[in-house]
Amino acid sequence: MQIDQIHIGTHPINWVGEDVLEHGDHYTADDILRDVAALGLKGVEMGRKFPTDPDELKRLLDRYGIRLVSQWKSVLLSDISRRDRELASYREHAEFLKKMGCEVISTAEIGGSLHWDPRRSANETEVERLSDREWKVFAEGLNQAGEIARELGMKLVYHHHAGTVVERPEEIDHLMELTDPELVFLLYDTGHAYYGGNDPLELLRKHVRRVKYVHLKDVRVQRLMEAREKNWDFKTCIRNNVFTVPGTGELDFRDILKTLLENGYSGWAMLEGEQDPAQHNPFEYAQRALQYIRMLTREIKGEQA
């Protein structure tokens, strides 16, 4: 599906959880891609059920007429002692995505996070925010990773993400200020924006020139309010279906789509729900999201006519 120059794709996470592994674990790669093709979509991100050998993955995707768009890459660049190995790992990851024809590398810092930082202990309950020194080290390392991406003809798109050190409005702003706009771009995620305390539309308008990749994720706001009251962490939020696909939560995507169109955004926008597929059928929810996006597009085009 395409809206002007915006290509609509989907993430396999709607079928098979990446953070909550019991979600949809029975789905196979063929199950996922069969559904994606039936939806008329031509792009997916990497999923944990997909083969990791480039040739095998290409054959699988070609069977369904689908291309790989990107894959998440965790980095721990705020720790200077890890920089060399982190950048070596980043280059290896980038070279794999280059072989697959990808143009963007979804990138997120895991230093300080509860779920992904290997230095944290199981009994900790809060994200450990970066010091000024760590911010400087992090930004320098991220620029170097961006150099690797540019060298390969790709772009590093930074994923502001729930439960990490870059999720709040001031953290996203600070990241954009500290990094080179020619090397570090933004993966704009509507659901993670709202979760992190941002106004998603305001965030987009502020940084739209840096946006080179989009995740379209909705939020069940009342469920998120419950999460705040009960102090759920990010994974518990997923287990309790805080997130869903556009048009099935409470976020308004009309002005978000309009802003992307008016500013000439021409990349991929991926549907993400990250909810329990046993309760929320991923194919049916994707259909509803696509219907919602088509409706909004008709309204926007009607205004512009």
pLDDT at 304: 67
The answer to whether 277 touches 10, Cβ cutoff 8 Å, is: no
CATH of the domain at 144: 3.20.20.150
Domain of 51 in residue numbering reads as 2-304
The identity of residue 10, as a single letter, is T
Which runs of consecutive H residues, i.e. helices, occur in the chain? 29-38, 54-64, 83-99, 132-151, 169-178, 190-195, 200-207, 221-230, 234-239, 254-262, 282-304
The answer to whether 180 touches 143, Cβ cutoff 8 Å, is: yes
Q: Based on the structure, what is the number of domains in the chain?
A: 1
pTM for the predicted model, two decimal places: 0.96
pLDDT at 125: 76
Euclidean distance between the first and the last CA atom of the chain, given in angstroms as a whole number: 21
Closest to 161 in 3D by CA, of 13, 8, 6: 13
Residues in the chain with pLDDT < 50? Answer: none
pLDDT at 303: 77
pLDDT at 209: 98
Residue 236 neighbours by CB under 8 Å, 6+ apart? 227
pLDDT at 124: 75
pLDDT at 198: 98
pLDDT at 305: 59
pLDDT at 162: 93
